[in-house]
Amino acid sequence: MGTYTQFIFHIVFSTKHRETTLLHTEKKRLLAYIHHLLTNKNCHLYRINGMEDHIHILTHMHPTISVSALVKDIKLASSDFIKSEGIFPNFKGWQDGYSAFSESIKAKTRLINYIKNQEVHHKKVTFLEEYQALLEEYEIKFDPKYLL
C-alpha cells in the first residue's frame, strides 16, 4: 500500500509593517518565484496571489515539510530574490509571523476563487479587516494589539 495525503493549507503573511511595497508591475515575478520554490519542495500550488502588502498561498504540502519550515523558507528565499532582482525598491522584508489554516479538499475551489480575486475583494475590505475576519472564522484567539 502506498502513502496518500491531502494536506491543504491557506497561508497568509504580510510585508514588514504592512507597507505597500509589492508593486503590481513586478508582482507576477515574485509569485512565479514562490511557485517554483513550492514545486521544488514537492508541494502542489493551487493558487497564489496578493496585494501590495500581503500574500495568500493555497498549497498542498508534502508530508515531510512542516508549515513553519515552509513559510520560513518562502520568506527567506523570496526576500533574497526581491533584493537580488531589485524588483521592489522599498521592500524592507516580511512581517514576523504568519497565519496558516488547514483546509478541506471541499473548500479548495472556493478558496482558489477567493485568492484569485484579491484585487476585487480589497476594493471593499482592507487587509487588516480581512485578516481579523480570517482569524475569527477559524476561531483563533488573538490580541488586537498585535494586528496593528
**Contact indicator for 58, 103 with CB cutoff of 8 Å:** yes
Q: What is the pLDDT of residue 41?
A: 96
- Alpha carbon distance 119, 36 (integer Å): 23
Q: What is the pLDDT of residue 1?
A: 79
Under-50 pLDDT residues of the chain: none
Q: Sort 74 into a burial class: Cβ within 10 Å, 0-12 / 13-18 / 19+.
A: buried
**Contact indicator for 147, 14 with CB cutoff of 8 Å:** no
Q: What is the pLDDT of residue 148?
A: 65
Residue written as grid cell 475569527: 136
CATH number of 8-147: 3.30.70.1290
